[in-house]
Amino acid sequence: MADLDLLHFEQLKAEVQAEYLKNHHPSYDEISKWKGIDIIYFQEDLRKKAKGNISEKSFYTYFKTVPSSKLPRIDMLNLLAIYAGYQSWYDFKKNHLFANEIISEHEKPSEIIIADEEKLEISTEKPTEVTFSIPEKAIPTIEKTTTAEIQPSLEETKTTVATSTSSQRIFKNPFINLIKQYFWLISSVVLMTMVLILVFWQRIFATDYKFTFIDADRNTKIKDIIEIRVLKENETPIRYIINSGKDIEDDDVGVFRFPTQSKTLAMEVNSPFYRKDTIYRNLDPARTNETIELEPDVYAQALYYYSTNDISKKREELDKIISNNALIYQVFDNETYGVETLDKQKYIGLVTTPTTSLKNFKMIETKVSPETKKIILIKFKIQPDEITK
């Protein structure tokens, strides 16, 4: 049955391709050869007609491989079927049955009927009283005894007195008894405490330093992602990322906190829109709050501005600041297709086309030639969207 579903999926891809070609003219007719701006236009048309979207990662996974080796999720199959003019994936298969193929009714979407809960019967009867009778033979008889039999002997009395005396001595030292009883537990707790102090010694007794990064031109906190690599002699650098979350409090924007007992600190600071810099600091516990200025990368900021804002003549401006031989890479969140190269004109066409995908545009890296003062390297990505309805 799975093999027939894969054949149906190939039929569906062909009809999706035919539907798109009715009103569009991509670089290639075959859907498996689409890339870059062709995929973006297809996503726009899919959102318009089927009221949903598939991510670029899903497109590369299911459309670039011919024939497909696995099926997408049912919500993606339904979305593509609606785009091709059918009610659902079930409706599409029903209209493309192979010879002797039968579609079971359980594949048809249906409403889930929730059964009523069974009512529990609670007994209101009074509990049965149970009585016990003891036979007379089971009751022991108490015979009269003589005074000689009841009175303990002198030796028994001495033994009893000795036992009472030793019991009193034991109860006089309960603390020692408790220590002996829980000796191993107390030893384990003490040992564990010592180990934790040794492990977290630096954090417990370290000084917490705070570094705030600001724009050297604007004198404002840097809100872009900042990568910090703390450099230590004979050790691999430790990497930190700040401003990486969406919901960051104002007090944490552009702030790097680093607890340490060292007297010096060396860190390499890098940000997409600021010049890379290596910063050295002599640390003083009396001065734990410092402000560090980063020089803006004017070319990277201009490139991002022209790539994400709808302004007049931005094509001409991009053409001026980008070298004709620039290396341009688009990065994908995909295990098979990780990077795609674009030429200058395709890149300018991509970032100046008004599509909703540009809201997810993210600049990763840029480089400027010191001789020509033009951009010679661009690395960017468009964050993928999951399937939405």
Closest C-alpha among 220, 215, 202, 219 to residue 258: 202
Q: Tell me which residue of 57, 60, 65 sits closest to 10, measured CA to CA.
A: 65
For the segment 267-313, what is each residue's pLDDT rounded down to a tens digit? 999 988 898 899 999 988 888 899 999 988 876 777 776 666 655 56
Contact call for residues 230 and 266 (beta carbons, < 8 A): yes
Residue 124 has pLDDT above 60, yes or no: no
Please report the pLDDT score of residue 109 as a whole number: 57
Report how far residue 89's alpha carbon sits from residue 108's, in angstroms, rounded to the nearest whole number.
9
* pTM across the whole model: 0.38
Beta strands 207-215 and 255-260 are: antiparallel
* Token reading at 238: 């430790």
Share of the chain above pLDDT 70, in %: 70
pLDDT band at 115 (very low <50, low <70, confident <90, very high): very low
Could you tell me if 243 and 223 are in contact, meaning their C-beta atoms sit under 8 angstroms apart? yes
- The model's pLDDT over 178-187, given as tens digits with 9 standing for 90+, comes to 777 777 788 8
375 and 366 in contact (C-beta within 8 Å)?
A: yes
Q: Is the pLDDT of residue 131 over 80?
A: no
**In this predicted model, what pLDDT tens digit does every residue of 74-89 receive, in sequence order?**
999 999 999 999 988 8
pLDDT confidence of residue 69: 81
Q: How far apart are the C-alpha atoms of 370 and 328, rounded to whole Å? A: 18
In 81-236, where do the E strands start and end? 207-215, 226-231
Q: Which domains does the chain have, with CATH numbers?
A: 2-104 (no CATH), 170-199 (no CATH), 206-294 (2.60.40.10), 298-382 (3.10.450)
pLDDT digits (tens, 9 = 90+) for 348-388: 888 877 676 767 788 888 999 999 989 999 998 887 765 44
**d(C-alpha 206, C-alpha 288), whole Å:** 12
pLDDT band at 231 (very low <50, low <70, confident <90, very high): very high
Predicted confidence (pLDDT) at residue 112 exceeds the cutoff of 60: no
DSSP 3-state of 205: helix
Question: Contact 215/294 with Cβ under 8 angstroms?
Answer: yes
The mean pLDDT of 144-171, rounded to a whole number, is: 47
**What pLDDT is recorded for position 167?**
47
